[in-house]
């Protein structure tokens, strides 16, 4: 067999495996649950084999209000995240801003904290029995502002900033200054040169918008805490109510989920419209290191103050509320400090086993997700046709599907009696849980890698093949080095996202093997609020330590030449 035929066969096998994984992990569970809206009889949830009644019911009353609230809140939160992330990425990557490494590391802390923790932290901060009132600094307008749409958008927007920041900063690392220099040589001003550079970053910016919108509309943590307590119903909590009611109304929840999934068609259409017919391939063997811009002393002082204020709002205030709940007695309502909750965490709370178990699950999930995400990103950028558009919508649509709905789809898909007849018994097993983890983290990481993969020029692979490298070696020697850091970041994103994941874990974890999030939730829901908050603090610190460990290993083990690609140097 000729080399060309071998490559073609290898590609066909890889493509088949890729689509088979998507079919089993995403398409089947989603279709099983969504089909409940039109054919509830198939799964024993009704007597009708075909009906549209569930769709007509969701366009009235509270259902329509919940959908409208989620749409406009998610749009504003996504725009807020990108507008903050782009200047932060430029400052951290292209200037000599003081403490930028510490600021960049702190961005991971914003990402690591599950959304329900900042929501609870803000509530404990501004409530009438909260920290501000105990310090005689509280006012009624603070509670009204946070316990409403403004506070919900603020927390969701802050939550979206790390996603957009990681996507844009990864793209900036691959963008050398030769484009700006070329424009300035031809007489362009700095603002005109900037207009040349920004379009090259479009895939990363649009990825940030798409991720931000999908993450906001599918978020359950804020919807079940701050939004619920503010009587501002969001789509995810409404779906949860329909599933959690007795008896549960799965068909209505499925019909509502259809609208949530279809809502992502708007950012998807915008991204496809702006990206179609354009090339963003800029990474080649001729890229040079970026020369960072030197800022004046006054500019540095002002920027450091602004960024420190941002982190205080994003991390500091929620941390005060959460830590007070773990360190202070009476749910943090008094000022009596005690370490009893932390003593119980390290003695009798049983967090150690679930935390180690979650770390193993997260590592396996990330190691599976990243290669598949890289291939999917490459397909989305380099391939054209209907199948690619279907793949794009499938990934973004599944990202918009709330985790509790996604997990319910796995129950209906892999708990069918017909599967037992074929010896397939995946329900309530660790294998099914990890498959669900991979399916939930895959769409986000595809979007995260999209900006960096779009910059890879085919000339890198061609050059390696001309010099005698095989298909695998050419990828390892020519393709992987320019994107080694974005791939590492994506791995950490998958790892940290699964470490404290709650909705999927709650419905699919194997009996007797609860992950860390379930252990924390059990204490929060069983009147051990202080212990649960202490567990959440410890788990978050462990996740942050894992990020530092992986980046440290990257610096020690990855070749220096790889690390210099996309790096910067002083003038």
Please provide the DSSP assignment of 254-299 as one string: HHHHHHHHHTTHHHHHHHHHHHTT-----BSTT--PEEPBPPPHHH
> Residue 281: which pLDDT band, with cuts at 50, 70 and 90?
very low
Helical (H) or strand (E) element with 191: helix 190-200
Helix axes 430-453, 202-218, angle to 10 degrees: 150
Tokens of 150: 């403004």
| Average of per-residue pLDDT across 203-225 | 83
Q: Domain boundaries in the chain?
A: 3-569
| Average of per-residue pLDDT across 51-78 | 86
Nearest to 290 by CA among 172, 122, 434, 445: 172
> Residue 187: which pLDDT band, with cuts at 50, 70 and 90?
low
| CB 250 within 8 Å of CB 243 | yes
pLDDT in the model for residue 531: 79
pLDDT in the model for residue 156: 94
> Residue 477: which pLDDT band, with cuts at 50, 70 and 90?
low
> Residue 211: which pLDDT band, with cuts at 50, 70 and 90?
confident
| Average of per-residue pLDDT across 169-180 | 63
> Residue 489: which pLDDT band, with cuts at 50, 70 and 90?
confident
The rounded mean pLDDT for the chain is 77
Nearest to 364 by CA among 430, 288, 287: 430
Q: Tell the burial category of 431 from Cβ atoms under 10 Å away from its Cβ (0-12, 13-18, 19+).
A: exposed
More confident residue, 371 or 461: 371
Q: What are the CA-CA distances from residue 249 to residues 253, 338, 387, 500, 506 (Å)?
A: 6, 44, 34, 28, 19
- The yes-or-no verdict on residue 308 having pLDDT over 90 is yes
- The yes-or-no verdict on residue 317 having pLDDT over 80 is yes
Lowest-pLDDT range of 419-433, 445-459, 498-512, 513-527: 445-459
Q: Which residue has the tokens 């691959």?
A: 174
**Tens digit of each residue's pLDDT (9 = 90 or more) over 106-122:** 887 787 788 878 888 88
> Residue 141: which pLDDT band, with cuts at 50, 70 and 90?
confident
**Fold topology of 3-569:** MetI-like fold (1.10.3720)
pLDDT in the model for residue 459: 56
Count of beta carbons in the 10 Å neighbourhood of residue 551: 16
> Residue 457: which pLDDT band, with cuts at 50, 70 and 90?
low
- The yes-or-no verdict on residue 472 having pLDDT over 80 is no
| Average of per-residue pLDDT across 349-371 | 86
- The yes-or-no verdict on residue 242 having pLDDT over 70 is yes
Nearest to 412 by CA among 442, 436, 437: 436
> Residue 279: which pLDDT band, with cuts at 50, 70 and 90?
very low
* Cα 340 to Cα 343: distance, rounded to the nearest angstrom: 5
Helix axes 529-557, 317-327, angle to 10 degrees: 130
């Amino acid at each position: 067999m000729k080399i060309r035929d071998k490559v073609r066969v290898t590609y066909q096998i890889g493509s088949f495996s890729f689509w088979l994984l998507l079919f089993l992990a995403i398409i089947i569970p989603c279709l099983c649950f969504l089909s409940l809206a039109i054919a509830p009889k198939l799964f024993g949830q009704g007597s009708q084999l075909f009906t549209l009644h569930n769709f007509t019911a969701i366009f009235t009353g509270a259902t329509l209000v919940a959908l409208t609230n989620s749409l406009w809140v998610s749009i504003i939160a996504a725009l807020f995240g990108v507008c903050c992330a782009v200047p932060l990425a430029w400052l951290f990557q292209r200037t000599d801003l003081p403490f930028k490494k510490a600021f960049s590391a702190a961005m991971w802390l914003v990402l690591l904290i599950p959304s329900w923790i900042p929501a609870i932290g803000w509530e404990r901060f501004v409530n009438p029995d909260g920290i501000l009132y105990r310090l005689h600094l509280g006012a009624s307008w603070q509670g009204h502002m946070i316990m409403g749409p403004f506070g919900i958008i603020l927390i969701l927007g802050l939550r979206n900033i790390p996603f957009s920041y990681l996507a844009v900063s990864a793209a900036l690392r691959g963008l050398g200054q030769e484009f700006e220099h070329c424009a300035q040589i031809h007489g362009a001003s700095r603002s005109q040169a900037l207009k040349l550079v920004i379009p090259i970053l479009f895939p990363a910016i649009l990825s940030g918008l798409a991720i931000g919108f999908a993450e906001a509309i599918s978020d359950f943590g804020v919807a079940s805490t701050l939004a619920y307590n503010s009587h501002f119903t969001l789509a995810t909590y409404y779906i949860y109510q329909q599933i959690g009611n007795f008896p549960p109304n799965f068909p209505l929840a499925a019909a509502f989920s259809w609208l949530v999934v279809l809502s992502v068609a708007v950012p998807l259409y915008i991204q496809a419209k702006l990206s179609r017919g354009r090339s963003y391939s800029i990474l080649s063997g001729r890229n040079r290191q970026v020369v960072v811009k030197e800022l004046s002393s006054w500019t540095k002082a002002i920027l450091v103050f602004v960024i420190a204020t941002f982190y205080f709002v994003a991390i500091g205030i929620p941390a005060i509320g959460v830590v007070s709940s773990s360190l202070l007695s009476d749910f943090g309502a008094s000022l009596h400090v005690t370490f009893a909750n932390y003593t119980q965490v390290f003695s009798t709370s049983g967090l150690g086993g679930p935390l180690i178990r979650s770390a193993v699950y997260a590592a396996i999930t990330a190691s599976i997700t990243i290669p598949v995400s890289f291939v999917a990103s490459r397909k989305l950028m380099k391939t054209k046709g209907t199948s690619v558009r279907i793949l794009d919508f499938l990934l973004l649509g599944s990202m918009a599907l709330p985790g509790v709905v996604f997990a319910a789809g796995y129950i209906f898909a892999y708990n069918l009696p017909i599967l037992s007849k074929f010896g397939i018994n995946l329900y309530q097993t660790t294998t099914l849980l990890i498959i669900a983890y991979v399916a939930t983290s895959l769409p986000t990481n595809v979007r995260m890698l999209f900006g960096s993969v779009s910059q890879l020029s085919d000339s890198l692979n061609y050059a390696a093949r001309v010099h005698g490298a095989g298909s695998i070696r050419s990828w390892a020697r020519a393709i992987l080095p320019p994107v080694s850091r974005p791939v590492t970041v994506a791995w950490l994103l998958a790892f940290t996202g699964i470490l404290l994941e709650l909705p999927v874990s709650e419905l699919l974890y194997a009996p007797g093997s609860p992950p860390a999030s379930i252990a924390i939730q059990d204490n929060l829901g069983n009147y051990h609020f202080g212990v649960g908050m202490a567990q959440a603090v410890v788990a978050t610190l462990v996740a942050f330590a894992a990020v530092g460990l992986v980046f440290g290993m990257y610096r020690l083990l990855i070749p220096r030449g790889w690390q210099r690609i996309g790096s910067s140097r002083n003038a």
